[in-house]
Chain A
């Protein structure tokens, strides 16, 4: 199947680190993505990682990829209240054409 799974909810305090986890299914996915959805808005691409990488860092964001376990994580350092949003991971499902399959989304709540 095409299930991309995430936990539904994460709550952290401002200044702490947040770690959002995702498991995917297609071992041949070449790219994996993190999208952010703020309230009342569409999704915006946060970052992506190529499948031959283990880690990618972009300012406060760190993406870790464990291909053996098909596990992807997004770490947000020094989490701010503005980071409160729903975070979706997505894999490109290899059907000849790269189709994005999204996870269920993790709602991150950052409290002051």
Chain B
């Protein structure tokens, strides 16, 4: 089954404790992206990747890191989480960027709470 898998689904942590949210897709997609969803703000893009070893900042990259060493995986790293990073995070992928009309496939989300 074609899917984007994120782990964990729920995570509670404390300020300053490094964490990684994993994302994996099995569709051989080139493009992957991370979003955060906050009430009243919709989805905002954190980082995206056009292909292996090609990543770039989205709209709200501060406090986050990503890597794309393999095509299928795109982990999101919070080196020193802070309470303002409490949010619902989504990973998404698509076949190739810039084609228009392409379908973004989303993971089920990771609810992160930073105390």
Which chain A residues have a beta carbon within 8 Å of chain B's beta carbons?
A: 2, 4, 6, 8, 30-31, 35, 40-45, 48, 50, 88, 92, 97-100, 102-105
> Are B106 and A44 in touch, CB under 8 angstroms?
yes
Given A92-B100, A98-B97, check contact A104 B40 (CB 8 Å): yes
CA gap between A7 and B87 in the complex, in Å? 21
B91 to chain A minimum Cβ distance, whole angstroms, is: 8
Which of chain A's residues has its CB closest to B90's CB? A42
**Chain B residues with Cβ under 8 A from A40's Cβ?**
108-109
B4: chain A residues at CB < 8 Å are 42
Chain A residues with CB under 8 A of B42: 4, 6, 88, 102-105
A78, B97: Cα distance in complex, Å: 35
A45's closest neighbor in chain B, by CB?
B103
Q: Is the CB of A104 within 8 A of B103?
A: no
* Chain B positions within 8 Å of A6 at CB level: 42
Q: Chain B interface secondary structure, helix, strand, loop or mixed?
A: loop
Whether B40 contacts A42 by the Cβ 8 Å rule is no
Q: How far is the CA of A50 from the CA of B100 in the complex (A)?
A: 9
CB neighbours of A48 from chain B (8 A): 101
Q: A100 contacts which chain B residues (CB < 8 A)? A: 45, 104
Question: Chain A residues near B104 (CB, 8 Å)?
Answer: 35, 43, 45, 100
Q: How far is the CA of A19 from the CA of B42 in the complex (A)?
A: 19
A42 lies within 8 A of B100 (CB) = no
- Sample of 18 further A-B pairs with CB below 8 A, known A40-B108, A99-B58: A4-B42, A30-B100, A31-B100, A35-B104, A42-B107, A42-B108, A43-B43, A43-B92, A43-B106, A88-B42, A97-B50, A97-B97, A98-B100, A100-B104, A102-B35, A102-B43, A102-B44, A104-B40
> In the bound complex, how far is the Cα of B48 from the Cα of A70, in angstroms?
27
CB of B41 within 8 Å of the partner chain: yes
| Min distance, Cβ A65 to any Cβ of chain B, angstroms | 14
> Can you give 25 A-B contacts (C-beta < 8 A)?
A2-B59, A6-B42, A8-B40, A31-B100, A31-B101, A35-B104, A41-B108, A41-B109, A42-B90, A42-B92, A42-B107, A42-B109, A43-B92, A44-B106, A50-B101, A97-B50, A97-B97, A97-B98, A98-B99, A99-B48, A99-B58, A100-B45, A102-B43, A104-B41, A105-B43
